[in-house]
Structure formats: C-alpha cells, structure tokens
Structure 1
Amino acid sequence: MKVKILKPGILSTVQDLGRNFYRAQGIPSAGAMDSLSMRLANLSLANAIDAAVIEITYADVLLEAETDLLIAYSGGGAILYASDQVLPDNRPLFVPAGQNLAFRHHSSGSRTYLAIAGGWDVPIVLGSKSTYITGRFGGLMGRALKKQDSLKNANNLTTSTLRLLSHLKSTKISFPNWSIDKEHFMPLDKRMIRIVPGKEFTWFRADSLLNFLSASYTLSRDCNRMGYRFEGPLLQRSSQIELLSTAVAPGTVQVTHDGSLVLLMSDGQTTGGYPRIAQIAQVDLPLCGQLKPGDSIQFSAISRIEAEKLYMNRENELKKLAVALNMII
C-alpha cells in the first residue's frame, strides 16, 4: 500500500509512541502529541498499538492513493474527504487506487492521526520511528513530509487486519457500520486538566497556588511540539532558591522567571532549570496535544496514586477494546 503527498499541510510527520529509553543521553521522547488518538487509529485496523502513523497538524493535507489502501484516522484536527464524500473517523476505511484524500480542518482540535494497515514503513532509529525534527532523525529522513514524498506500509499485517482487508476490499470506498467510541476514553470536561503537584509546588505563594488551581489559562501563539506557553495570572514565588538543572518530561509544567507557565510536550528537552510546579496526569496529556492557540484550560490537583489509577484504568479499557475488535473483525 502506498500514498503520494500532494500537499503536506503546515506540519505532517511520522510518529509512534516515542523513544523513551534515551532521555538519560539527552534525547527527547518525540512521539505523538495525542497518543490516545494515535492508538485508536491503529486499533481500528487491528494494528500493533504502537505502529507508526502520520501526525497531521491543522489539516490542509492532500494525498493520492497510489495503490488500494486500508486506513483509519482519529483526532480532532481534521475531517477526511474523498471528493465531496466525508469519510468517518475511528473505523477502518478501504480506499481504491487513484483516489485523492483531503484532510480539511475541524475546529475541535489541532492534530489528526492517519494509520495504515501494518503501520508506515520508515526506519527505526533508537527504538522508534518517530520524527525528531530538531535532531534531524527518525521518520522520513528526519524531517516533515514534503510534496511528492511517497510512503508505503510495512508488510506485517496481522491476521485480523488481513480479514478486514478481505471483507472491505471493493471497487469503491467502503467501511463497516461500527466505529470506536472515542468519548468513552475521555473525561467529560476536556478543559479541566488534572495535575499532580510537582517537586517545587511549595515554592510558590499561597495566593499564586490558588490562582493556579482556580483561574483559566489560555494557550498563546508561542506553542509547538517542544512546548506551550500559557497566558494567565502570573505566579509569584515565596522562596528565591535557585533550582539546578534537573529532570523534566512531557507533561512537566514549569514556571519561568516572570511567573508564566510553560508546558513541555513531546519534543521538549530532558532537563530544565525552571521550578516544576506540576506534572500533567498521563491520561490528560492527549487533551493538551489537541489544544490550539486561544484555547483555555483549568488545572485540577489530584494525587499521584489517583493519576496512576486513572492511567491503569484507561490502559485496561484499551486492552478490552482490542479484544472486542478482534472478536468482531
């Protein structure tokens, strides 16, 4: 299966769940900004849950099916069209050769994930296929996708994927009646982001902590895959202790010298010197991956144990989904 990029959009890259075992060497994780949508796109095809996908930012992408395709997409940033036909998300889609596919922007998010049967075939670098543009490695030659690029699938289809392909193969676009209910895996309030207080949480004044946990913060235009800067009440410290550069990770919320918030994301650095006021609960980090400039969020504190339980519950639900899909495919 093979596609040609006719229009790459603002930023389209190959990503998977990231390279998480080289942070001690200063190498960022990279990987999908919204790992939940990425995983649901793969599950729709009975792929391995960490198979490589294309992460599309703000849509405006046009592809040509050079061969017959079995694909799926998920995420709030775009709707997929074939001519004027809307193709539904979170389910497998058979697309015959020669068809053009257009991702058009949708206001509910910023990123969309395109999976293909078997995953996209790019080299594995340090245990991952994820693109890290700053380091110029991973993905397709360490860069964003460009016009006239061609990508093909990896030829390692599961038995369930082969059954899907056999069932849906046709002379026209086809897809099943079922779909994955993405809302089942998400909180009701998608603008309330749960956090675990960080190591330097108590370095801040009581009134600043009250603002942090009650006021709204708006994502500024200063945002990318490395991190987000938020506009809102500035936080003031009660202690002037200087922090030596220390470990940070995707989801770490830091407070800069002027009191503003910075949230590290997938391509963020591995160490930092700003106080760490909080860590985003892992289950809510995909919500942050869909934020757009101008979106507002609030923070709600939970314990580390609560965050772990929420994470394990979602992982168990995803495992149940994989089993259920294998039964119906």
Structure 2
Amino acid sequence: MKLLKSGILSSYRDLGQNGLRHLGVNPSGAMDKLTVRLLNILLQNDENEAVLEMHFPAPEILFEEDCTIVIGGADFMPMLDNQEVMNWKSISVKPGSILKFKKKIAGNRAYLVKKVSHANQFLPYLGNSFVRKVSNLSKTVEVRFITGNEYKLLSEESKQSLENQVFTISQNSNRMGFRMNSEPLDLKTKIELVSSVVDFGTIQLLPNGQLIVLMADHQTSGGYPRIGNVISVDLPILAQCGANDLVKFKVVSLQEAEELLLLQEKEIQKLKASIIFFNGKQAN
C-alpha cells in the first residue's frame, strides 16, 4: 500500500499503549477507537492492529498486492478505481487499484484497515443498525457524561447552563483536546487545585470559564477543575466531530454509563462471533 498523496494529518493508529502513565506517557492511539476495533473485527485481525487514520482532504492510495480492505468512521465518499464503494463493507482489491476520497459527507476521521486476501474468505458488511450506534455524524450531537470530582464546585446556574446550552467546538481544537465555546461557566468560589490524573474524555473548566474535553493525545495530569468525563460509548461520537460542530452535554449516572458500555460490548461480541461462524462455515 503506497500513499500517492499523503492527505491531511494521515497517520497509523492503534488502540494506544497502556501502563506508562506513571512515567508521564499518555496512551494516545486512534481518536475513534471503536471504529478501529470494528474494522479489525470485520477482517478478523487483532483488534489493536494499527489502521490508517485519515482527515479530509484524505490520501490517495495505490494498492500493490491482492488484499481486502474496509473503510469506516467518517464518510469521505471513497472511490476505488473511480467507482464509489461502501463504507463498513469488506472490499476485494487488486494490485494497481487506486483509492481516492471525493467528498466529505459526514464526520471528521475515516479509517482504513487492510488484510492480505485469502481464498474463500467471507466478506462481511456491518449492518446499518450497528453503524447508527457507532457513529452519530449529525451536525449537533448529544454527549453524555458522568460528573467529576469538581462538578460540585460549579455554581447552580452553571450546572443548569452546562446541560441546557449548546456548545460550539472551537477552531483551536486538536487531538489533545476540544475547546468548547459557550457562555462562561462559574465556580462558587475561586480555588487552587493540585494537578490530578486526567483521561480521554475528561471535561475541564478553564480559567476563562470555557470547557475543554481532553481527547486521545491528552496529558496525563492537569490542574484545572474536572467537571466530568464523557462516557466511553460516546467518545467515538465526539471524536467524529470537528470545528464549528455543535455539542449538547447530558449528565448520566455511573451505573447507566456502565450498562451502556456492557451493552455495546455484547453487540461487539455478537458481531465477532457471527464473522467467525460464517468464515468457519465457508471453509467447510
């Protein structure tokens, strides 16, 4: 696979590295980790195998061997040898084929995974019902969060404003964090905090009253008040947002967040089992 044009901020990403935060090394990895998992599952790869993370304008890619590819996440209207192909569908590719991305339809990060082709391999397609759970790519998204250690320090007016107003993702956003433009939020009293651990999805209140949501390349600790944390199942949705997109926040309980994550994992395991079953049946 050769990049004829590199595109904007194209890079290979896996699910990130864990176990090094005590050394100040963050996990990093793909922004939309759920899409990475699903694409690898579709091709029966290890879920953590690195995939190509793309932004628009996306790269132009030449394939140099027989392989199978799947594209998912954002919809950049993929064109293989000038013929439109589907997202979330396994596609057989011949040597010399060229993949281009014609137009940004929805979302901000598309992913490509490749596997050397095998004879009689079942070529799966991720059904529309599952895709809707994975990627809410509309202009305004609702993002659920659990309250953080310093949520109680917000004024009552700011607690109401946090859930009732619409936030705009700032142009000054990147893989480290999404800055949110809105009416400023206030603490009951000004306080000084000791730097504490933060994570992908931590919502911090900046000194100017604006929010920042930490993303894949976040630092390992920070001293701004931690208002909350975006729940795991909504992080991929937020990761598909970009500058000027609109976000609404909704607080949920820790129990609800855990139940939603368990439900998502059950659906993923069903998908994995069905692909293994069909491949095994076809091999026989």
Is TM-score (shorter-chain normalized) higher than 0.5? yes
Supply the distance in 1 between the matched residues of 2:152 and 2:125 (Cα, whole angstroms). Answer: 49
Supply the distance in 1 between the matched residues of 2:26 and 2:32 (Cα, whole angstroms). Answer: 16
1:49 alignment partner in structure 2: 47
Among 183, 189, 208, the residue aligned to 2:131: 183
Moved more, 75-84 or 280-289: 75-84
SS of alignment partner, residue 310 of structure 1: helix
What code does the residue aligned with 2:131 have? E
1:68 alignment partner in structure 2: 66
Task: Give the count of matched residue pairs.
Answer: 276
Supply the distance in 2 between the matched residues of 1:247 and 1:100 (Cα, whole angstroms). Answer: 44
- Where do 1:146-165 residues align within 5 Å? 165=118
- Kept in 2, the 8 Å contact 1:75–1:112? The answer is yes
- Where do 1:239-250 residues align within 5 Å? 239-250=189-200
SS of alignment partner, residue 258 of structure 2: helix
CA offsets per residue over residues 235-269 of structure 1, 9 Å max, x none? Answer: 01102121111100110000100100101000010
**1:76 CA displacement:** 1.3
Supply the distance in 2 between the matched residues of 1:34 and 1:296 (Cα, whole angstroms). Answer: 18
Supply the distance in 2 between the matched residues of 1:59 and 1:111 (Cα, whole angstroms). Answer: 11
- Kept in 2, the 8 Å contact 1:216–1:296? The answer is yes
TM-score (normalizing by structure 2): 0.92
1:282 paired with 2:280, answer no
What code does the residue aligned with 1:110 have? N
What code does the residue aligned with 1:22 have? L
Percent identity (aligned) = 32
- Where do 1:167-246 residues align within 5 Å? 167=120, 176=123, 178-181=125-128, 182-186=130-134, 191-246=141-196
1:309 alignment partner in structure 2: 259
The CA RMSD measured in Å over matched residues stands at 1.9
TM-score (normalizing by structure 1): 0.80
SS of alignment partner, residue 274 of structure 1: coil
2:214 alignment partner in structure 1: 264
CA offsets per residue over residues 274-294 of structure 1, 9 Å max, x none? Answer: 000010000000011100111
- Kept in 2, the 8 Å contact 1:59–1:111? The answer is no
Supply the distance in 1 between the matched residues of 2:231 and 2:123 (Cα, whole angstroms). Answer: 34
Supply the distance in 1 between the matched residues of 2:188 and 2:103 (Cα, whole angstroms). Answer: 44
SS of alignment partner, residue 284 of structure 1: helix
**1:107 CA displacement:** 3.1
- Kept in 2, the 8 Å contact 1:58–1:77? The answer is no
Task: In structure 1, list runs of 5 or more residues that go unmatched.
Answer: 118-152, 154-161, 169-174
SS of alignment partner, residue 191 of structure 1: strand
Moved more, 31-40 or 255-264: 31-40
**1:185 CA displacement:** 2.9
SS of alignment partner, residue 293 of structure 1: coil
Among 242, 252, 277, the residue aligned to 2:202: 252
Check 1:95–1:211 CA distance in 2 against 1; reply closer, same or farther (3 A cut): same
**1:183 CA displacement:** 2.8
- Kept in 1, the 8 Å contact 2:172–2:179? The answer is yes
SS of alignment partner, residue 317 of structure 1: helix
Supply the distance in 2 between the matched residues of 1:290 and 1:177 (Cα, whole angstroms). Answer: 23
